């Protein structure tokens, strides 16, 4: 070994932190299982629903929403992946190694969010683009029949992928704030599934209005080929989800800077 005091070609750069996080993501077996499961469940559910549909109508459910019902699993799966990327490092102790290598801390958070988004977005996009025509093969001559070129369909498929990606980033932020896998998953499920359901029961118009801005409702608005009249417009829904993700990341950044590792 030679002493490294003379020459130091190595230094931490954002690109290198990205590369490190990319390497970390793919060298854990659960990442592969999670991503394959996410894709297969969406595809399988889409095809299964298409094959089982008897054409009796689904209360006017939007075609893209109908075909992509399997992405319900993705909202949980991908969120867990995001939470594992941050809170998971605290439970294993890996965070101490990570933050010793990058003591400025924030580049790690940005890199984790970027890596996960770069994986989730194409995965969801390709899965959706594959699921739709496969499911539609069973749906010709039903009221759910639609083509990729129909108005709003491609936008719905892409919008759903974008929404899932932003939810993943939001979950990653929750994991970094709570530093606990169970608490982060609990908070995420509460926010995405339980709280809006409870709120809609309340007999106040203002609550109904507010519920539209919750993540799952915005995801639904973004997925629909023809958004319901009382739902957010796709543009507003995308902005809403981007804000959820941004607020969560900002909270994560602030926690990371202030608290001890």
Partner 1 sequence: MITAQDLTKRYGDRTVVTGLSFTVRPGTVTGFLGPNGAGKSTTMRMILGLDAPTRGHATIGDRAYAAHPAPLTEVGALLEARSVHPGRTAFHHLRALAHTHGIPRSRVEHVLGLTGLTEVAHRRVKGFSLGMGQRLGIAAALLGDPATVILDEPVNGLDPEGVLWIRTLLKSLAAEGRTVLVSSHLMSEMALTADHLVIIGRGRLLADTTVTDFVRRSGAGTVKVVTPRAADLVRHLTAPGVTVTTDAPGHLTAPGVTVTTDAPGHLTVHGTDAEHIGRTAAAHGIPLYELTPGTASLEEAFMDLTHDAVEYPATLEGAAA
The smaller minimum CB distance to partner 1, of residues 50 and 107, is found at: 107
Written as six digits, the tokens of 49 are 């629903």
The smaller minimum CB distance to partner 1, of residues 29 and 52, is found at: 29
The smaller minimum CB distance to partner 1, of residues 64 and 81, is found at: 81
The smaller minimum CB distance to partner 1, of residues 8 and 229, is found at: 8
Written as six digits, the tokens of 188 are 């995420």
Dist CA 184 CA 178 (whole Å): 6
CB of 99 to partner 1, least distance (A): 6
Dist CA 39 CA 33 (whole Å): 10
The smaller minimum CB distance to partner 1, of residues 13 and 200, is found at: 13
CB of 127 to partner 1, least distance (A): 25
Cβ neighbors of 258 (< 8 A, separation 6 or more) are: none
CB of 105 to partner 1, least distance (A): 8
CB 117 within 8 A of CB 168: yes
Cβ neighbors of 257 (< 8 A, separation 6 or more) are: 105, 106
Q: Can you give the binding site for partner 1, defined by CB under 8 A?
A: 1-5, 8-13, 16-17, 19-21, 23-24, 27-30, 88-89, 92-97, 99-104, 260-261
The smaller minimum CB distance to partner 1, of residues 230 and 260, is found at: 260
CB of 112 to partner 1, least distance (A): 12
The smaller minimum CB distance to partner 1, of residues 77 and 136, is found at: 77
Dist CA 228 CA 211 (whole Å): 14
CB 80 within 8 A of CB 173: no
Dihedral of the CA atoms 12, 13, 15, 16 (nearest 10)? Answer: -10
Written as six digits, the tokens of 203 are 């007999």
CB of 121 to partner 1, least distance (A): 22
Residue 37 φ/ψ, nearest 5 degrees: -60, -45
CB of 25 to partner 1, least distance (A): 9
Dist CA 26 CA 164 (whole Å): 20
CB of 26 to partner 1, least distance (A): 9
The end-to-end CA distance of the chain, in Å, is: 31
């Amino acid at each position: 070994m030679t002493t490294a005091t003379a020459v130091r070609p190595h230094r931490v750069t954002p690109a290198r932190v990205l590369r490190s996080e990319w390497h970390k993501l793919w060298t854990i077996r659960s990442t592969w299982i999670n991503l394959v499961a996410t894709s297969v469940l969406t595809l399988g559910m889409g095809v299964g629903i298409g094959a089982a549909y008897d054409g009796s109508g689904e209360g006017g459910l939007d075609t893209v929403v109908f075909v992509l019902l399997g992405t319900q699993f993705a909202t949980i799966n991908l969120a867990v992946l995001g939470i594992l990327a941050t809170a998971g490092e605290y439970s294993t102790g890996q965070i101490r190694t990570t933050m010793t290598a990058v003591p400025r801390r924030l580049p790690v958070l940005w890199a984790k969010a970027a890596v996960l988004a770069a994986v989730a977005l194409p995965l969801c996009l390709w899965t959706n683009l594959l699921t739709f025509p496969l499911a539609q093969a069973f749906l010709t001559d039903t009221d759910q029949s639609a083509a990729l070129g129909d108005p709003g369909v491609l936008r719905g498929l892409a919008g759903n992928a974008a929404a899932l990606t932003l939810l993943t980033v939001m979950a990653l932020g929750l994991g970094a704030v709570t530093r606990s896998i169970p608490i982060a998953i609990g908070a995420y499920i509460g926010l995405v599934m339980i709280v809006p359901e409870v709120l809609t029961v309340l007999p106040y118009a203002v609550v109904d209005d507010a519920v539209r801005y919750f993540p799952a409702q915005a995801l639904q608005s973004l997925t629909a080929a023809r958004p319901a009249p009382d739902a957010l417009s796709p543009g507003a829904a995308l902005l809403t989800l981007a804000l959820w993700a941004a607020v969560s990341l900002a909270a994560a950044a602030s926690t990371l800077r202030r608290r001890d590792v």
